[in-house]
Structure 1
Amino acid sequence: MRKKKDITLQKIADELQLTIHTVSKALRGMPGMSEGTRKQIFETALRLGYKTKDQELSVGYEKLPLLSTKRRRFTMILSHDAPFYQIQFLGIQERIQEWGHSLTGSFLPYLSRDQSEIDRWIDSLDLQYYDGLFIPPIYSEQLERTLLQLPLPKVLINFPPPLANVDSVIWDVSTAVHQSVNHFFSMGHRKILYIGDIYKQRGFRLRWTAFRDAMRQIGVAAEPHQHLTDSSVPYEQWLEELKKKLADGDFTAILCGVRQDLPSIIYTLQSIGLSIPKDISIINVEDLANERFPHQSRPLLLMKEAGRRAAERLLWRIANPAEPYEHIRLQGTFYEGNTVRRISE
């Protein structure tokens, strides 16, 4: 077997007929190449026994089973093929492939609340043949509870429910909401309209709680009836209520707490002749690209990074099954774009 000191970036580059620069970028997780090339570089480095300094430290501190010759198979539950899930999936996949393992997606069809239907769907996935499971945010808490009870290693990419015996990794939306309110306040805004469901998911409820706390800190009380927080009403009714709140002129800014509401908000603003940020300022809490407003002011949620950390955590759990469960929140920064206008007090 070759000694580790004999394996250099040049040897990997020569074997693949690539430049040292490309090999180095791939092993450091940097962009600038196809995923096929990146995968080929990782596989060659793993076969030759080359490890970066970060990987060596990871093995030492986290006791990750990186050097195991067994190729592990993992799956992630996907509600649908949307950017929100794609970003997380990519983060997991990149980290998993670095260590020679594989990841597949298990797509979630529409399921009723019939537990037998949920059980049949889970049985159809043959989850017992996987080495581990990634569970992102899904609307059905009943389904989530069932998945959490499965006897295989798993990581929840979400805020954990009470009493859940599972490791979790998630981007810190509570801090993101505080960052958003603080930015509004620093630009002179105190009349902030919160738009977004606060009931369907734990993450949604946490955003609303954070909003109330942040508003309280700037001396403003916030109650659900003052804002647009219930998505269970008919869509036309929701739109009319939004138009009324905007037309009343009490609000100078909007905090969009749920990404799906942003197109409707923009459409409504246009329909009543309000422009961003001249007439009203806006921050979108969920950090996903928007073609109309590529420079929207927003907190930077670490979705892809959460996927990478979830991959690390699941391998750590496999190597350390008796250790206590841990819940990891990743805090991002705030991007001061061009959708918040400074106003006078």
Structure 2
Amino acid sequence: MNAKAPTLKDIAEEVGVTPMTVSKALRGMPGVKASTRAKVLAVAERLNYRVNVQASSLKSGRSGIIRIMVNEYRLPFYAQLIDALSDEVRRNGLTPFLQKTGYSAESAAEAMRSPYFSGSMFDGTIAHASGVTEAGILKSGNPTVLLDDCAANPAVSTVNWPNEMGARAGVQHLIDRGCRNIGIVTVCPYMDVEDLLRDHVSNDPVRLRGARSALIDNGLPYDPEHVIRVTGLNEPQGIDAAHRLADTHAGFDGYLCMNDSLALGLIRGFADRGVRVPDDVRVIGFDGIVAGAYSVPTLSTVSVDLDQLAQIAVGQLLRQINDPDGDWRPTATTVGFALIARESTR
């Protein structure tokens, strides 16, 4: 006959604390001394204590799991975003669950309406994924915070990148470095550039508006021909763009790329054609991925404060979870950034 499984009360009695303190210590929550946490973990290990997730969920009505939805895992920026969000979720004593949509609206919609991937399995969702509609979120009834939704009047709280101000700063940096004919590399494969400027579906139009404003404010020319359109966000698209620009002698002396992967691709593509960065052209990216520090030349970038983003997003989500009947009006918060000047613009 199996021995009775140890409980929180058993651990609490042996350590000399309350069951609530044991629960906080096991979940890594704040408010527990390091020495007490160490004793709790040691006793739990010796007693072979295991959390009964099903019973805990039934009792509290919560799973302790936060879903993080993103488009992909391989893009370096997403890796850092996931890392920042996961760390912040764990810091609050919860468990992150990752889900990839592959830029698919159908996958995002299925994830939001699935009775398994919503409801009681997750306490809440943080989503930066294409096709996650506000209607689907509201219908799911699951507490949700969106990342970089960019809607003019959001129905769900969102935490946004510094899209317009960051792009303005990136172009201004190129101007300060002597550039006077600046190209803007962005994802715009199927839409006229002027239509893109009026769009509110993604961050690309917002960044493009910021870049255009910086050019106009400095008395420099802007027209749609300054926008270099690519079909994707990864390095291969940047390499292809650089080959086209070099082969057609485009004449730009500086480039703002809408993400760092494109910028790294641009640098490598120019190298293939004998165009030197920063001697012949200067290049700056947007995001602040760690890989940029190790490229040759190292990449200047508009670095988004992902730690701040994670703290705000998780904090907003926990307020919804902890007070489900509260009058939570949608908010739109923009996080900070830092312009990091490296070799690609010097």
TM-score, normalised with respect to structure 2: 0.69
Give the stretch that moved more between structures: 272-281 or 91-100.
91-100
Q: Which residue of 1 aligns with 2:320?
A: 317
Task: Pick from 164, 181, 196 the counterpart of residue 174 of structure 1.
Answer: 164
The percentage of aligned residue pairs carrying the same residue is 16
Name the CA shift for 1:323/1:241 in 2 (closer, same or farther; >3 Å).
Answer: closer
Q: When the two structures are aligned, how many residues end up with a matched partner?
A: 281
Letter in 1 for 2:131: S
The one-letter amino acid of 1:337's match is R
Question: Counterpart in 1 of 2:311?
Answer: 308
Moved more, 73-82 or 261-270: 261-270
1:237: how far off?
Answer: 11
**Aligned partner of 2:71 among 76, 79, 97:** 79
Do 1:91 and 1:305's aligned partners in 2 also have CA atoms closer than 8 Å? no
What secondary structure, in the 3-state scheme, does the structure 2 residue paired with 1:323 have? Answer: coil
AA matched with 1:216 = I
* Equivalent residue number for residue 99 of structure 2: 106
- The reply on whether 1:224 has 2:224 as its aligned counterpart is yes
In structure 2, what is the equivalent of residue 131 of structure 1?
A: 123
Q: Give the whole-Å Cα distance in 2 for the aligned partners of 1:121 and 1:167.
A: 16
Contact 2:303 2:337 in 1 (8 A): yes
For structure 2, list consecutive stretches of 5 or more residues without a partner in the other structure: 1-14, 16-23, 36-59, 189-195
Partner Cα separation in structure 2 for residue 79 and residue 241 of structure 1:
23
Equivalence map 1:201-220=2 (5 Å) = 202-220=202-220
Cα RMSD (Å): 3.6
1:269 alignment partner in structure 2: 270
Write the distance in 1 (CA, Å) between the matches of 2:261 and 2:184: 14
1:339 is matched with: 344
Task: Output the CA distance in 2 between the equivalents of 1:119 and 1:98.
Answer: 29
Whether the aligned pair in 1 keeps the contact of 2:238 and 2:263 (CA below 8 Å) is: no
Amino acid at match of 2:213: D
Structure 1 residues 10-35: Cα deviation after superposition (integer angstroms, max 9, x where no partner): xxxxx9xxxxxxxxxxxxxxxxxxxx
- 2:21 equivalent to 1:43: no
After TM superposition, list the pairs within 5 Å mapping 1:158-197 onto structure 2. Answer: 158-197=148-187
The 3-state SS of whatever aligns with 1:277 is coil
Partners in 1 of 2:29 and 2:141 — Cα distance? 33
Provide the TM-score with structure 1 as the length reference: 0.69
Q: How far apart are the structure 1 equivalents of 2:311 and 2:32?
A: 22
**Alpha-carbon distance between aligned partners in 1 of 2:105 and 2:31, rounded to the nearest angstrom:** 44
1:330 paired residue among 317, 331, 335: 335
Structure 1: 5+ residue runs without aligned partners?
1-14, 16-38, 51-67
224 and 236 in structure 1: CA distance in 2 versus 1, 3 angstrom threshold: farther
Is the contact between residue 95 and residue 312 of structure 1 (CA under 8 Å) also seen in structure 2?
A: no
